A and B are shown apart, each in its own frame.
Chain A
Amino acid sequence: MLIWGKPRSAMLLEVKNLQSYYGLSHVLQGVSLTVHSGEIVGLLGRNGMGKSTTLKSIMGMVRPRSGSVRFQNQEIAGQEPYRIARAGIGYVPEERRIFSNLTVLENLMMGVKPGDDQTKNGWTLPKLYHHFPFMKDRPAQKGGHLSGGEQQMLSIARALMGNPKLLLVDEPTEGLAPLMVREVREVLSKINQEGVSILIVEHNLQVALSLADRVYLMGKGTIGFTGSVQELKAQPHVQEQYLSV
């Protein structure tokens, strides 16, 4: 059958009715979302609504109590984080979590997955150096001595070294100067153009809406609104309800 217009790309990630707890507190109360190949999807909402926990639950760092996470048609919910990473998901955490005692290059090499040939295709060192020139100039600098913006770039580059199909990015512009915020935004956009899909949690609404194709708004552990960026912009009361402080 012929489909006219822009073909809908393949489903990459499908999260269904995800439930997670921190001790007794029921943080995720049935989160469902999808990411298609090539998309940037924004996950927005106020603090404490479960956005970071959603990313951690997909990554396996918080073990979901129930629900399903399918990545490239494989069920990954409940697996060890390292298996989920090897399946092709990269994680750029809140507060970057650079290995401060390791050098820039050593931090990058941590992203390489066992069995991957780093000299072949995908995100090779030369390609990363092209996107992040400071890493080429200072490969031996300790991660802990980098500026906040550089650490953010390193955290992104480290995840890319594993050649992920999907990147989970948590608050990449938090605490950065305006100029750096713009650079991070541009880097993420370029990475997406290279074919990496992105699920991003972002407080800076301007950044989020300029990057994302679609957004999910979270309130109290569930998804409250979903739609394209245009649809969100057309509904100020929704923004009011889920985003304004």
Chain B
Amino acid sequence: MDAIAVMLITQGIHGLAYGMLLFLVASGFTLIFGMMGILNIAHASFFMLAAYFAFQIMQWSGSFWLALLLAPIAIAGLGILMERLMLRQIRKFKLGKAVVLFELMLTVGIMVCIEEAVKNLWGTDPEIVNAPELLRGLVQFFGMTYPVYRIFIIGLSCSILLLLGLILFKTRLGNVVRAAVQDADMAGALGVNVPLVFTLVFGLGTWLAGIAGVAAAPMLTVFPGLANQMMLDSFIVVALGGFGSLFGAFVISMLLGELTAFGIQFFPGYSTIILFGFMALVLTIRPSGLFGEKE
């Protein structure tokens, strides 16, 4: 096989793996911001914090799998606390549409707090998290070699996407979530404990960011700035994918992953401009995004 094909496929897999991680984060952001309308700028900070939690758990126990299990649960717990103690409270002031502004300011504050806390606890130097024995090295098929860990990320993300889809579209809870997101007052009048449902969804959204953070740790460098790129990318995904559309979020995440991978290769320096310019353009002419339903 010639060198160019190898390069294309390698970059392609790299893009796919990053796209999948992005989708995990952005699907949580889609649930919280796109569907429930709660603007949480600190969402990707939970992603970054989860990577540090994974690092710490592995320092203590040496087990990546334990980190993959525990860190996202701890992150979801923090998310639920933030929703209950802060975001829920400002909604009580009946600020109308201005509530999003207050959420923006509040969660920017949280974002800065998390970043500074991480710097104080773990320092600013990058930390290394090793993939578990099972997922190291390369695997060969069709005459190509692939890093096992990237394949694992793709598989893990696909499974979680499938699980999320099943929960949302095949269970009573999913039914209730989709109804409460569309018309919370009506769902309440039918006997649904809407505040509890929203807390659960918020927890689920941050759990997804947590899973992504742990999975990303061995692939990307763990450092406090990890949240920034991810937050910007999540915004693009939710804006372009259409607010609240999981399918849209998936497609845009994959596109963005590939664009990032190949952008570096073919037009370094311009890929970010193209991307954000495109987002601004789409928001101008079609605010519901490429896959969102029209109001």
State whether these chains interact.
yes
Cα distance A136–B136 in the bound complex, in angstroms = 54
Residues of chain A with a CB closer than 8 A to B277's CB: none
Count, chain A residues at interface, CB 8 A = 24
Determine if A61 and B175 form an interchain contact, defined as CB atoms under 8 angstroms apart: no
Determine whether the beta carbon of B191 is less than 8 Å from that of A93: no
CA distance A114 to B183 in the complex (A): 19
Q: Which residues of A contact B185 (CB under 8 A)?
A: 61, 81
Q: Which of A68-86 contact B (CB under 8 A)?
A: 80-82, 85-86
CA distance A166 to B81 in the complex (A): 38
Contact (Cβ within 8 A) B191 A114: yes
Additional A-B contact list (20), CB under 8 Å, known A85-B189, A86-B191, A162-B191: A59-B189, A61-B188, A61-B189, A80-B188, A82-B194, A85-B190, A91-B190, A97-B183, A99-B178, A99-B182, A99-B187, A100-B182, A102-B179, A106-B178, A106-B179, A109-B172, A110-B175, A110-B176, A110-B179, A110-B190
The CA of A102 and the CA of B186, in the complex, are separated in Å by 13
Instruction: Check if A110 sits within 8 Å of B188, measured CB to CB.
Output: no
Residues of A within 8 A of B194 (CB): 82
Minimum CB–CB distance for B294 against chain A, Å: 12
Select one of B175, B178, B179, B193 contacting A82, CB under 8 A: B193
- Give the distance to chain A from B246, nearest Cβ to Cβ, in Å: 12
Flag if B186 contacts A93 (CB, 8 Å).
Answer: yes
Instruction: Check A82 against B176 for contact (C-beta < 8 Å).
Output: no
Shortest distance in angstroms between A142's beta carbon and chain B's nearest beta carbon? 11
Q: Is B192 an interface residue (CB 8 A)?
A: yes
8 contacts between A and B (CB under 8 A): A61-B189, A81-B188, A82-B189, A85-B189, A97-B186, A102-B175, A106-B175, A106-B179
Interface string of B174-207 (1 = CB under 8 A from A): 0110110011011111111110000000000000
B: interface residue count bin: 10 to 19
Does A101 interact with chain B (Cβ within 8 Å)? yes
Closest to B195 in A: A80
Shortest distance in angstroms between A143's beta carbon and chain B's nearest beta carbon?
Answer: 10
* C-alpha gap A67/B194 in the complex (Å): 25
* Assembled-state Cα–Cα distance A91/B86 (Å): 31
Interface residues of A (CB under 8 A from B): 59, 61, 80-82, 85-86, 91, 93, 97, 99-102, 106-107, 109-111, 113-114, 158-159, 162
Contact with A162, one of B186, B188, B190 (Cβ below 8 angstroms)? B190
Q: Which residues of A contact B178 (CB under 8 A)?
A: 99, 101-102, 106
Contacts of B188 in A (CB 8 A): 61, 80-82, 85
**Chain A residue nearest to B182 in the complex (CB):** A99
- How far does the Cβ of A12 sit from chain B's closest Cβ, in whole Å? 18
A111 nearest CB neighbor, chain B only? B190
CB of B189 within 8 A of CB of A110, answer no
How far, in whole Å, are A101 and B179 apart by their CA atoms in the complex?
8
Distance of A159 Cα from B189 Cα, bound (Å) = 9
Q: Tell me which of A97, A99, A106 has the highest count of chain B C-beta atoms within 10 A of its own C-beta.
A: A99
